[in-house]
Structure 1
Amino acid sequence: MMPFFSYSQSLAYKTLLDGLYDKNFPVVKAEQISDLSNYQVLDAREREEFEVSHLSGAKWVGYETFDLKNVENLDRNEPVLIYCTVGARSQEIGKKLQEAGFTRVYNLYGGIIQWSNSEKPLESQGKPTRKVHTYSKTWGIWLTKGEKVN
């Protein structure tokens, strides 16, 4: 039987994420995404984290400064992929989106750290990068493929 987590993710990291996530909030894993353009991609990190790197086409919505006015032009019936560093902040913003009537909101499992560990592309100012703002040195230990910035 194949493990639930990918080879690029340790059991300790999976256990940590399992403790952070609400089991009733839908997640999508990096390896399940072949085309980001199928989603309205939202970044729920702070602006300085977003500027280090983000997923292609991501719209910055923030966490501390999040306001529903920043997403009023999005289609509430199209899929939304929301992410942060590991998925805790994005889950909270995702719940606010659901409460506001968004019908298909998905949290990126493992956040930008797992995205980078899965060797998926990141960008900064329209150019490819391997830099990842890991929020803190504590979260940074989970980044195995990418250049840590915190």
Structure 2
Amino acid sequence: MGKFITISPESALDLMEKEPEIAILDIRPEEDFIKEHIPGAVNLDYDGHHFQSKVENLDKTRPYIIYCKSGVRGGYFMAKMLESGFVGAYNILGGFVAWKISKLPLTSD
């Protein structure tokens, strides 16, 4: 894949459906994740402790879709993934807020 780009929420949903092996990372705080998140997402709190070690434990050979609340931290995180040698990542434009406004699927714990 080798792409590191920001895509629309609709494009992200399309990618999730076409590539079931893609991992979805929610980098918002855990309490936000528990309330509501994109189905299939795994929480990796960007502001949490041991964040760098969590990133290093991710499989760098898998592609990822990442999102934060508004898309800003997601872009920063995507740049860190590129620097760390990941094969590819997509940041959702507008983050979780845009996903929700677009009325795309949501779930809660």
TM range (shorter): 0.7 to 0.9
Paired position in structure 2 for 1:88: 72
Q: What SS is found at the alignment partner of 1:27?
A: strand
Bigger relative CO (Cα 8 Å, ≥ 6 apart): 2
**Following the alignment from structure 2 to structure 1, what is the Cα–Cα distance between the partners of residues 52 and 106?**
25
The answer as to 2:93 corresponding to 1:113 is no
Gaps of 5+ in 2: none
1:51 is aligned, of 34, 57, 63, to 34
Aligned equivalents of 2:75, 2:15: Cα separation in 1:
21
CA offset digits 1:36-60 (Å, max 9, x no partner):
2342111111111111111111111
What secondary structure, in the 3-state scheme, does the structure 1 residue paired with 2:14 have?
A: coil
Residue by residue over 1:103-129, the C-alpha shift from the partner in whole angstroms, topping out at 9 and shown as x without a partner, is: 21111111111111111111101xxxx
Q: Is the 8 A contact 1:45 1:89 kept in 2?
A: no
TM-score, structure 1 as length reference: 0.60
Aligned to 1:28: 7
The alignment partner of 1:122 has SS state of: coil
Question: How large is the Cα RMSD of the aligned pairs?
Answer: 1.9
CA shift, 1:26, in A, is: 1.0
After TM superposition, give the deviation of residue 73 of structure 1 in Å.
4.7
Render the CA deviation track for 1:6-31: whole Å, top value 9, x for unaligned: xxxxxxxxxxxxxxxxxxx6112121
Which letter does structure 1 place at the counterpart of 2:14? S
Asked if 2 retains the 8 angstrom alpha-carbon contact of 1:83 and 1:108, the reply is yes
Higher share of residues assigned helix = 2
Q: Which amino acid aligns with 1:43?
A: D
SS at match of 1:34: helix
Deviation of the 1:72 alpha carbon? 4.2
Moved more, 36-45 or 55-64: 36-45
